[in-house]
Amino acid sequence: MRVLTPLLALASAAVAIFPTKLLYQSPTGLFIENIAVRPNSKLLLTSVVSPTLHTFDPTIVNSTFDEVVTFPNATGLTGIAEYRRDVYAVVASILDVEALSEKPGSVVIWSVDLTSGVPKIRAAACFPATITPVLVNGLTAVPGNPDIVLAAESSLGGVYEINLRTGTIRRKFQDVLMGPTPPTPLGINGLHVHNGFLYFTNSVRGALYRIPLRGGTIETLGDVSNFGGIGAALYDDFAIDSEGRVWVALNTGALQLFHRARNGTWVQETVVGDPAGSPVLVGPTSGAFGREGPGGRRTQSLYVTSSSGQLVAVDTSHRIQ
């Protein structure tokens, strides 16, 4: 969702561009918050201003947004994650977008089963009303734990573990680097598990971090200090490719790539758009890699959503200098 620590490697001064294609522009400018890609290549999309989960088929020319399911007692959706094959966890709540807060007791993590072709939903877990203020944001599955998802709570600055089978919720991590900086109540935002690490962004701090999933020291991978400054550009959600590179949505209008140099340090560069603003990406919020074939093999097409209602495809296999 949109609204300092030193870099481990100097950011590149050059801008390396990857080809982009605008797949869809919402005629109403619908705020698209998050995205998941189904094994059949179709996209699932959430919006913070709508309780309806939408789908979009990027393989069809002139495809449109179609409704999958509308959740009750909610005004918006934030995180989404596939925790079993074609079964998804979705965060729904009564959400105040301007205040960046959710009504205590309204946050429900729903399970959406699409395996039969007909959506089957159930309320899998509910955040206690005693957790306040609350803003349950990004969501990620945990490989090897098919009933577990992790959720970023942006207002207090923590990560919660949610068991979708039993409905139990417990705090797994809490750290100052996950918390917000007043007056903006938007700390930890996107999060994903990769190779035993939990990667996460902190929007108001403008930084990307990772921590061993079993706990330990938080490592800073990069920040926005050389790309517009704190407060001028906010990191939102992100995607991690098969090479371990991290593609982060920068709300002001860019996609930033984090990758390891040969000496092991992290390099950070703008690869699409401009941190100062760009018509190519207007308010990017999240990204996910495409899937194709019988096994749902991951492709090199990165789908990026935006708060302006854009859905953009980035060809990460082809670099233009």
Residue 51: CATH number of its domain: 2.120.10.30
In this predicted structure, what is the pLDDT of residue 66? Answer: 96
Residue 287, in any domain of the structure: yes
Residue 82, in any domain of the structure: yes
The total domain count for the chain is 1
Residue 263, in any domain of the structure: yes
Residue 231 pLDDT greater than 60, yes or no: no
4 vs 285: which has the higher pLDDT: 285
Mean confidence (pLDDT) of the chain: 91
Indicate if the alpha-carbon torsion angle 221, 223, 225, 226 is positive or negative.
Answer: positive
- The model's pTM: 0.93
In this predicted structure, what is the pLDDT of residue 293? Answer: 81
In three-state secondary structure terms, 32 is strand
Distances (CA, A) of 236 to 106, 136, 162, 187, 252: 23, 14, 22, 10, 10
Residue 220, in any domain of the structure: yes
252 vs 119: which has the higher pLDDT: 119
Q: What does the pLDDT average to over 95-110?
A: 96
pLDDT in tens, 30-41: 999 999 999 999
How many C-beta atoms surround the C-beta of residue 86 within 10 A? 15
Q: What does the pLDDT average to over 301-313?
A: 97
Give the range of the structural domain holding residue 44, as residue numbers without chain letter: 20-315
In this predicted structure, what is the pLDDT of residue 234? Answer: 86
In three-state secondary structure terms, 49 is coil
In this predicted structure, what is the pLDDT of residue 194? Answer: 97
In three-state secondary structure terms, 256 is strand
Q: What percent of the chain lies above the pLDDT cut of 90? A: 81
Residue 36, in any domain of the structure: yes
Longest dimension (CA), the chain: 52
Distances (CA, A) of 309 to 58, 65, 96, 173: 15, 11, 19, 33
pLDDT in tens, 124-170: 999 999 998 899 999 999 999 999 999 999 999 999 999 999 999 99
CA dihedral 316, 308, 201, 140 (to 10 degrees): -80
Are 247 and 255 spatial neighbours (Cβ–Cβ below 8 Å)? yes
Residue 168, in any domain of the structure: yes
In this predicted structure, what is the pLDDT of residue 321? Answer: 65
Residue with tokens 């919660």: 160
Residue 1, in any domain of the structure: no
In this predicted structure, what is the pLDDT of residue 51? Answer: 98
Residue 19 pLDDT greater than 90, yes or no: yes
- Going by their DSSP bridges, the two strands 219-223 and 207-212 should be labelled as antiparallel
Residue 93 pLDDT greater than 50, yes or no: yes
DSSP 148-209: EEEEEETTTTEEEEEETTT--EEEEEE-GGGS-BTTB---EEEEEEETTEEEEEETTTTEEE
Residue 9, in any domain of the structure: no
Are 283 and 308 spatial neighbours (Cβ–Cβ below 8 Å)? yes
Helix and strand numbers, DSSP H then E, in the chain: 0, 26
